[in-house]
Structure 1
Amino acid sequence: MLIPFDRPLVPGILLRRYKRFLADVQLHDGQELTVHCPNTGSMKNCAEAGSRVWVDLNPRPGRKLPGTWELVETTPGGLACIHSARANAVVATGLAQGRITPLAAFTEIRREVCVEVGGSRFDFLLAGADGDCVVEVKSVTLALGGGIGAFPDAVSLRGQKHLRELTALARAGRRSCLLFCVMHGGITRVRPADEIDPVYGMLLREASAAGVSVLAWGVEPTPQGLVLAGQLPVELDQPAGGS
């Protein structure tokens, strides 16, 4: 299932990413532009100067920047989609079409829903004949080599808060799910990035033990669009030296 981009992407080379939301790129024709970087994370291994990138050029009246950075060719190898909001769009399509099989029984999909525990806004609330399920989506782009992907790519207090609230929901008897949307073609399995955010790793294992469903779904980024692939394993084994 291909989810196409709105316009054909234009290839180029990344010169630098800075101020979180800005990136300078040199297009294939030699033109240098500053474009929007739609990712607030550290983008570890995804923002190396000299990397091949693809941007969506869409200059229009009133827009400050002429385009948006969408894809990057990374080392370790593989294309990554760095536009983090696209993870939710891909998941929404997969849910609507029943392609995310562990959640396929839910027939009603609501987006951006607050629940009573903690006050966070979660990405999806699914409902069906057997009740509902709160779903939080996390976009994974950090490839470590050997097919291993990790989350988060920087200490994530927001991610920790989501895990605590999902755990509280599960302990209260409500179904909850953390879904890693893997936006990198070189990743075949996912684990918590304990070396970056050990608290997140601890909380993720606690959430799983409490009954939170922890899933990972692969996406194959291409310059034509994003292809929702299949389920990937999540490895929650305690790291060496962990307690």
Structure 2
Amino acid sequence: MIRRYKRFLFDAELESGELITGFCPNTGSMRGLTTPGSTCYLTQHTGGTRKYRHALELVEADDTLVGINTARPNLLVEDAIDAGLIGSLGTYAERMREQKYGINSRIDILLRDHEKGLAYVEVKNVHFRRSPGLAEFPDSVTSRGAKHLEELGDMVEAGHRAIMVYLIQRADVDRFSLCRGLDPVYAAAFDRAMKRGVEACAIRCKITSDEIRAESLVAVEEAGLNSVI
């Protein structure tokens, strides 16, 4: 890694010594993951009309691999649902992606069942770690994230289920908590959502240079948590 800039771009030096500019599929701060000189892993695209052939996928930080591609968590959570890792979510008859709901929003995963009704599943990518073993979210202020928590609460009050899933793309953690100091507004929205009946869980991924796989639930260290049933 040489640098990451303009949110969507990064410069890197390949093993061959070639200097390249690539696409960064993460608009967040990526706090702690953009240190110059860090080893990173890229996907390479050939053909088509892409402006940049390379995309950033993994970064080595704190002696572990960290997934930064925010296009992957929804699919990883679907895999976790299929594997039975998230309560009863795998028992719903239908699953849909990116369905409109709330005020000008789209839910990541919508589950529907004749007997169980609707379950709204919102997914957040997590890759921030400051203390050993503890993953935190968010790593910067996210007014959009707070809005999603409010809308999940609205769905519960309308008679549906709503689930907040934090997908942790690093394997060196066994606990999760909110980063309240970085975004107290988001933390307050989370607390309100729990009081309104929104459920929440955190899933850790196993990551190698060849594979990212949802592995297991980890403890969520938040008072008033409604665990996914």
Q: What is the TM-score when the length of structure 1 is the normalising length? A: 0.87
Partner amino acid for 1:210?
A: R
Match of 1:178 in 2: 164
In the alignment, does 2:3 pair up with 1:16?
yes
Contact 1:155 / 1:197 at 8 angstroms: preserved in 2?
A: yes
Give 1:97 deviation, angstroms: 4.4
1:87 to 73, 91, 109: 73
Alpha-carbon contact 1:138-1:179 (below 8 Å) kept:
yes
Residue 58 of structure 2 is aligned to residue 55 of structure 1: no
Aligned residues of 1:148 and 1:188 also touching (Cα < 8 A): yes
What is the aligned length?
223
Identity of aligned residues (%): 34
The letter of the residue matching 2:15 is: H
Distance 1:63 1:110 in 2: 28
Matched, 1:193 2:193: no
In structure 2, relative to structure 1, the CA distance for the partners of 1:61 and 1:110 (3 Å cut) is closer
* Structure 2 equivalent of residue 11 of structure 1: none
Q: CA deviation at 1:216?
A: 0.8
SS of residue paired to 1:233: strand
**Structure 2 residue aligned with 1:37:** 24
Q: Does 1:227 align with 2:213?
A: yes
- TM-score under structure 2 normalisation? 0.92
**Structure 1: tracts of 5 or more residues without a match:** 1-13, 239-243
The code of the aligned residue for 2:200 comes to: V
Query: Contact between 2:85 and 2:217, CA under 8 Å: does it hold in 1?
Result: no
**Number of the residue aligned with 2:125:** 139
Deviation at 1:49, TM superposition (A): 1.0
Task: Please give the secondary structure, in 1, of the residue aligned with 2:92.
Answer: coil
- Counterpart residue number, 2:54: 67
**Residues 59 and 65 in structure 1, CA contact (< 8 A), matched pair in contact too:** no
Question: What secondary structure sits across from 2:173 in the alignment?
Answer: coil
| Deviation sequence 1:58-90 (CA, Å, 0-9, x none) | 232422111111000113x32111001101111
Question: In the alignment, what sits opposite 2:227?
Answer: none
- Match for residue 10 of structure 1? none
Query: What is the Cα deviation at residue 210 of structure 1?
Result: 1.4
Aligned to 2:64: 78
> Once superposed, what is the RMSD of the aligned Cα atoms?
1.6
